Amino acid sequence: MARYILRRLGFMLLTMFLVSIAVFLISEVAPGDVARHILGQFATPEQVELLRDQMGLDEPLYVRYFDWLIGNDWRLRRLVGMPLKQVLIPGRADAEWYAIAPDGTMLQWKMKQEGLVEIRVTPDGERTEVLFDGWLVDENGEEYFWGVDTAGHVVLWKKGEAGREVGPASAGRAMIEASGVEYYPIRRGLLRGDPGISFRTNRPVGPTLARRLRNSLSLAGIAFVVIMPIALVLGVLAGLREGSPLDRTISLFSLITTSVPEFASGVFLILVFAFWLKVLPGAAVFPDDTAPLQNPKLLILPVLTLTLVEVGYVARMTRASMAEVMNAPYIRTAFLKGLPYWRIVFKHALRNALIAPITVIMLHVNWLVGGIVVVESVFGYPGLGMYLLDSALFKDINAIEAGAMVMVALAVGSQLVADIIYTFLNPRIRYT
């Protein structure tokens, strides 16, 4: 069993790797330029080019891919000559890069009016700024220096002829004097926990994605907890009373609900409950992070929309499986053993009948989290689906990759869980 799980986990990593490459290639091919999306339609071509350079988008595809995957801080260290360290800014979902001097003080440089300034932060947090004078001289006599700016780039500054330092005084995230010579955004790479900066929010992808994932999981989770029991019960009842009026009504109900597309049913629910009856909020508005917990009413309609579509599908499947099991020979044996009806149903039939539906239900986890982008868009619910859709439209490659990785992990993960549950329920299958 362990060997099987190991093999499947290995496969999961392989799939994620393949998907990440596919996403990188396809988004390279797809039209649209993220720098222009950031700067807006009124940016001049030079500005767009400069921003592309600063975001490291002008580097060859494979370099960018490996930067994303395993990071480039270990490579850039050689340029700066000092180890680089990423420090989280307390209280804000952001982080800064520093070069670490031998004595432990953290260094950053930024271009100001009076020239290149060195920021020193001693281990005990005391921060000083002093004019920089450690310029190096290259072969043709030009003064240059490789340092770390405040916007997380390793930058090459050069002293121009006009005596005034030329280079990006990139204070904060902005590029005040954006005439730097070379830029490399520093990253630790996904495998070392840093999915990179989202171009859309200019913040690390991690926290935003986590919030979106939590929203989606809470929606999917509640929907899952609501849908599955109802659907299973309905399916079992219909399967037991095959052909009876109860079976026919349940089948018809589940057939109708699965046939109405979720975007149509979602809109109708808003019309009825939010507009006419004014009972429930029509949109999932999150004034702050804790909204879904404080105001559960926000989730009722989205969950209801999801439930409508899902219940029918799962119920129909459970019904078929239940009906099949009830005609199985071992159930006949149970009857012939004179066991009471409900004992036969619960002890003998249910266990085998639930094997098929449960495994398929797990495959729905993947759909629930990623595929419900339509429900998210109808209710403006800030979930993972919308996040991926917006990022893809914006060509925010770091966000797309991180989102895709989460989804693939969920998909393959749920497939694996489905198989494991399958083995517990069905002792005949012993995976080697």
Partner 1 sequence: MEIIKRKEQKEVHPYIPELKELYRAGRITRREFLRTATLLGMSFASASLFLASCKPTPTAAPTEAPTEAPTQAPAQPTVAPTAVPEGMPKRGGTMTIATRVPRIDHPARLSWIEGANQFRQVCEYLTFTDYDNITHPWLLERWEANEDVTEWTLYIRKGIKFNDGQELTADDVIFNFQQWLDPDIGSSMLGLLSYLSPENIEKVDDYTVKLYLNSPQIGVPEHLFHYPAMIVPKTFEGDIVRQPVGTGPFLLEEYVETERAVFRRREDYWKMGADGKPLPYIDKLVYLDLGEEEAARIAALQSGQVDNIFNPSAEIWQAVKDLPDIMVYSTPTAQTFVIRMRVDMEPWNDNRVRQALKKCIDRQKMLDLAWFGEGVLAHDTHVAPVHPAYCPKDIPPYDPEGARQLLAEAGYPDGLTVELATQEARAEPAMAQALKESAAAGGFNIELNIMPSAQYWDVWTEVPLGITIWAHRPLGTMVLALAYTADDEGNPVPWNETRWVDEEFSQLLKEAERTLDVEKRREIMCQLEDIQMERGSVGIAFWTSVWYIAHKRIKNVRAHPTNYDILFDAWIDDEA
Partner 2 sequence: MATERPGVGSPREVPILRVENLAISYETRYGEVTAVRDVSFEIGRGETLGIVGESGCGKSTVAFGIVNFLGRNGRIVSGRILFQGQDLVGRSERELRRLRGDRIAMVYQDPMQALNPSLRIGDQMAEVLIVHRRMKKDEAEERCIRMLERVYMPDPANVMRRYPHQLSGGQQQRVVIAMALLNDPALLIMDEPSTALDVTVEAAVLDLINDLQEEFDTAIMYISHNLGVIARVSDKVAVMYAGEVVERAAAEEIFLHPSHPYTLGLMRCVPRLGMEKASSYLHPIRGRVPPPNRLPPGCVFEPRCDFARPECAERRPPLKRLTDGHWVRCFFADEVASKGQEALAARWRKEATVHEPQREPTETILTVQDARVYYSVPARRLFSREKPVVKAVDGVSFHVPKQRTLGIVGESGCGKSTLVRAIIGLEKLSGGGMEFMGFDISVPVSKRDLDLIRNIQMVFQNPDATLNPSFTVGFQIARPLRRFRAVPKDRVKDEVIRLLNLMKLDASYYDRLPRQLSGGEKQRVAIARAIAARPELVLCDEPVSALDVSVQAAVLNLLLEVQRELGTTMLFIAHDLSVVRFFCDDIAVMYLGQIVEIGPAEAIYAPPYHPYTEALLSAVPIPDPTAEQRQIRLSGSVPSALNPPSGCRFHTRCPRREWLPDGGRICEVEPPPWQADTEEHRILCHIPLEQLRRMEAVVSEEVRDAG
Partner 3 sequence: METEKKSRLRKFWESISIVLRSPTAAVGLAIVLFWVFVAIFAPLLAPHDPLAQDASAINQGPSPTYPLGTDNLGRDILSRLIYGSRVILILAPVSVLASVIVGTVLGLVGGYFGGIVDEIVMRILDAVMAFPTILLYLIIIAAIGPSPLNVVLAITFVGAPGIARLVRGLTLDIRTRDYIRAAEARGESALYIMFVEILPNARGPLIIDALLRVGYAIFAIGTLGFLGLGLPPPTPDWGGMISEARKYIWTNPLGVLWPALAIASLVVGLNLFADGLREETMRYQ
Q: Contact positions toward partner 3, by CB under 8 A?
A: 11, 14-15, 18-19, 22-23, 26-27, 29-32, 251, 255-256, 258-261, 263-265, 267-268, 270-271, 275, 363, 366-367, 370-371, 373-374, 377-378, 385, 388-389, 392-393, 400, 403-404, 407-408, 411-412, 415
Instruction: Report how far residue 2's alpha carbon sits from residue 258's, in angstroms, rounded to the nearest whole number.
Output: 38
Rule CB under 8 A: say whether 177 interacts with partner 1: yes
Burial (Cβ within 10 Å: 0-12, 13-18, ≥19) of residue 139: exposed
- Joined together, the tokens standing for residue 135 give 């310029």
Rule CB under 8 A: say whether 423 interacts with partner 1: no
Give the one entry of partner 2, partner 3, partner 1, none that residue 351 binds, where binding means its C-beta sits below a cut-off of 5 to 8 angstroms depending on kind.
partner 2
Residue 169 beta carbon to partner 1: minimum distance, rounded to whole angstroms: 8
Could you tell me which of 216, 245, 239, 266 has the C-alpha nearest to residue 387? 216
Residue 14 beta carbon to partner 3: minimum distance, rounded to whole angstroms: 8
CA-to-CA separations, 361 to 163, 303, 314, 365, in angstroms, rounded: 69, 16, 7, 7
Residue 315 beta carbon to partner 2: minimum distance, rounded to whole angstroms: 22
Site string for partner 1, 250-289 (x = CB under 8 A): -----------------x--x---xx--x-xxxxxxxxx-
- Joined together, the tokens standing for residue 213 give 């994932």
Per-position DSSP letters for 209-262, written without gaps between them: HHHHHHHHHHHHHHHHHHHHHHHHHHHHHHHHTTTSHHHHHHHHHHHHHHHS-H
Residue 338 beta carbon to partner 2: minimum distance, rounded to whole angstroms: 3
Q: Give the length of the chain.
A: 432
Per-position DSSP letters for 295-352, written without gaps between them: -THHHHHHHHHHHHHHHHHHHHHHHHHHHHHHTSHHHHHHHHTT--HHHIIIIIIIHH
Give the one entry of partner 1, partner 3, partner 2, none that residue 2 binds, where binding means its C-beta sits below a cut-off of 5 to 8 angstroms depending on kind.
partner 2
What DSSP designation does 191 have?
G
Give the one entry of partner 1, partner 2, partner 3, none that residue 385 binds, where binding means its C-beta sits below a cut-off of 5 to 8 angstroms depending on kind.
partner 3
Residue 428 beta carbon to partner 3: minimum distance, rounded to whole angstroms: 16
Instruction: Report how far residue 248's alpha carbon sits from residue 27's, in angstroms, rounded to the nearest whole number.
Output: 48
Residue 17 beta carbon to partner 2: minimum distance, rounded to whole angstroms: 24
Rule CB under 8 A: say whether 397 interacts with partner 1: no
Site string for partner 1, 181-210 (x = CB under 8 A): ------------------xxxxx----x--
Rule CB under 8 A: say whether 31 interacts with partner 1: yes
Give the one entry of partner 1, partner 3, partner 2, none that residue 200 binds, where binding means its C-beta sits below a cut-off of 5 to 8 angstroms depending on kind.
partner 1
Q: Which amino acid is at 363?
A: L
Query: Judged by CB, which is closer to partner 1: 115, or 413?
Result: 115
Instruction: Report how far residue 144's alpha carbon sits from residue 81's, in angstroms, rounded to the nearest whole number.
Output: 14
SS3 state of residue 67: helix
SS3 state of residue 159: strand
Instruction: Report how far residue 377's alpha carbon sits from residue 283's, in angstroms, rounded to the nearest whole number.
Output: 10
Rule CB under 8 A: say whether 176 interacts with partner 1: yes
Query: Judged by CB, which is closer to partner 2: 192, or 343?
Result: 343
Query: Judged by CB, which is closer to partner 2: 213, or 331?
Result: 331
Give the one entry of partner 1, partner 3, partner 2, none that residue 347 binds, where binding means its C-beta sits below a cut-off of 5 to 8 angstroms depending on kind.
partner 2
Instruction: Report how far residue 165's alpha carbon sits from residue 111's, in angstroms, rounded to the nearest whole number.
Output: 8
- Scanning 17-25, 43-51, 71-79, 313-321 for contacts with partner 1 by CB under 8 A, the matching segment is 43-51
Give the one entry of partner 2, partner 3, partner 1, none that residue 304 binds, where binding means its C-beta sits below a cut-off of 5 to 8 angstroms depending on kind.
none
Helices then strands, each counted (H, E), the chain: 17, 10
Instruction: Report how far residue 165's alpha carbon sits from residue 143's, in angstroms, rounded to the nearest whole number.
Output: 10
Residue 247 beta carbon to partner 2: minimum distance, rounded to whole angstroms: 13
What DSSP designation does 19 have?
H
Contact 217, 300 (CB under 8 A): no
Burial (Cβ within 10 Å: 0-12, 13-18, ≥19) of residue 355: middle
Rule CB under 8 A: say whether 121 interacts with partner 1: no
Bridge partners (DSSP) of residue 148 are: 154
- Joined together, the tokens standing for residue 49 give 């080019």
Q: Summarize as ranges the residues that interact with partner 2 (CB under 8 A).
A: 2-3, 243, 328-330, 332-340, 343, 347-348, 351-352, 355, 425-428, 432
- Report the interface residues with partner 1, using CB under 8 A: 31-33, 36-47, 93, 110, 150, 169-179, 199-203, 208, 211, 267, 270, 274-275, 278, 280-288, 377-380, 382, 386, 390, 393-395
